Structure 1
Amino acid sequence: MINRRNEQENKEGNQERRFRSTARRVIGERKGDLDEAATDAMKLRIHVKTQEAIATDALELIRKTYRFGEKRYSSRKDLYLRSNTRSFRCR
């Protein structure tokens, strides 16, 4: 139990050191630069996670089959092909 806790603390310490050194290189060493780097990192993390959720939801929708009217279509391409042929009929 103690070994696991020490390993976790070591990982967190290494990550923090890497973050601080990267922030110093990229942003600088002035007062407030570390806070700015942390804020930017959190914003980026939120953006990445949001995009992952959007992509996951989109993939789930693509995998499903939808019922559009009388016939069942397994892809949107089938639906578009069918609707385009209807629009060219003479009335």
Structure 2
Amino acid sequence: MTDPTSARYRRLPSEVDPSQYVVEIPSFVDDRPEAAAPPPAAAPELVAATQLAEGYGGRRTIRRTQVRTGLWLAGVPIVCLVAIAVVQIVLAG
């Protein structure tokens, strides 16, 4: 072991000072808007009406978006293939 770098590992410090290894991370202010407080639980009709008015249609909204996306993803390639087939038929005849 004549490597000069191994000499630095022969003598270790007796104690490690934790203050040398403390990393301070600055905090930040969370400026995101908070959600509105839910209405009192004593009035379920009010909760349902508020959610409906705010657009919490839930499944219908998600399902409608999924159907629209599915039609685009499946419909556009199908229409392109049909157009190519029609052009090939017209040019072959």
Same fold (TM over 0.5): no
Question: What TM bracket, shorter-length normalisation?
Answer: 0.3 to 0.5
Which of the pair has the greater relative contact order for Cα pairs under 8 Å at 6+ separation?
1
Q: Which protein has the bigger helix share?
A: 1
Radius of gyration: which is bigger?
2
Q: Which protein has the bigger strand share?
A: 1
- The TM-score normalised by the length of structure 2 is 0.34
- The TM-score normalised by the length of structure 1 is 0.35
